[in-house]
Amino acid sequence: MESIQKFQDLLKRLFQFEASDLDFGIYRILNYKRGRIEKFIQEDFKNIIDFLSQIEDFQKKLWEKKKMEV
């Protein structure tokens, strides 16, 4: 889980939410969508990772079951 937190921190730095003086071009759009982007980074991204982890666990179990049948 530490790697997820590091990646989330990296995304925050890439989007430069701390730099309030950036209010032009793409940064204006990012500031406008800031709430949605932060929600994705904090909540949605973690949910996606959890979901993919569940799929991976299921696939491993399925693979083990198929190996037992052979």
pLDDT tens digits for range 9-30: 888 787 776 666 666 677 777 7
Residue 59 to residue 70: CA distance in whole angstroms:
17
Q: Which residues contact 9 (CB under 8 A, 6 or more apart)?
A: none
State the helix-helix crossing angle for 45-69 and 2-15, rounded to 10 degrees. 140
Number of independent structural domains in the chain: 1
pTM, rounded to two decimals? 0.54
The pLDDT assigned to 20 comes to 63
Domain housing 23: 2-69
Residues in the chain: 70
